[in-house]
Amino acid sequence: MDLRAALADRRLVAIVRGGDPDAALRTVLALVQEGIDLVEVSLSGADALGVITRCVGELGPGRPIGAGTVLTADDARAARDAGAAFAVTPGLGAGADTARELGLPVLAGVMTPTEINTALAQGADALKLFPAAQAGGPPYLKALRAPFPDAAFVPVGGVDLDAARAYLAAGATAVGVGSPLVADAADGGSLSALRERARAFLAVVEEAAG
């Protein structure tokens, strides 16, 4: 898949991490039904590889379901084998390197200009600015875009509705949203409440596009 194009088109990545694999699967399916089909299933969740495999089986191989928290070479290989369409890392290292070698697009975790330079030189498709809130929020992103105007930044960490709006206005290609969107759905919480939150985030994305 063309990860950068997908990020620019959808502008929102849902991050699913839960303790109940069945609930996590239901969460992904509900998000896709609401129109959020760029989804990262974190490997730190329960049976995350199984969740990815089941998502691909339910949705088909063309859906952009990615693996998150890809730390090691083994993580990258397991994500590829499970059918993940892309890999997301919290930082640079073996997980990102091996994912690229396997042909998986990589959303690589960075925080500093040095890390951004390194990630771009290593061929990262896009840059996960993480943890974005602790790094300085939308003003920090805006400052980074001056020396890196062509980089595709995806802020992650503490991105609620207001922050999503601010990051997109500051030039983010997309935003990555975990608990403010998913909340307890991947642990068995309300899917109807999840759907309401999904619609609210999609409204912010549409507002930014308009």
Please give the span between the terminal C-alpha atoms of the chain, in angstroms, as a whole number: 26
Structure tokens at 156: 């992650």
The active-site residue out of 58, 128, 206, 207 is 128
128 tagged catalytic: yes
Q: Which two tokens stand for residue 172?
A: 């983010």
- Show Cβ contacts of residue 3 under 8 Å, excluding neighbours closer than 6 positions: 64, 86, 105, 106, 107, 125, 126
* CA–CA separation, 2 and 17 (whole Å): 24
- Active-site residue (options: 34, 40, 196, 206): 40
The region that residue 59 occupies, defined by phi over 0 for left and psi between -120 and 50 for alpha, beta otherwise, is: alpha
User: Any bridge partners for residue 154, and if so which?
Assistant: 128
Cα–Cα nearest to 162, from 182, 177, 148: 177
Annotate 160-181 with DSSP letters as a single string: -HHHHHHHHHTT-S-EEESHHH
Evaluated on CA atoms 82, 93, 157, 105, the torsion sign reads negative
Task: Name 39's bridge partners.
Answer: 14, 65
Specify whether 40 is catalytic: yes
Catalytic residue ranges:
40, 128
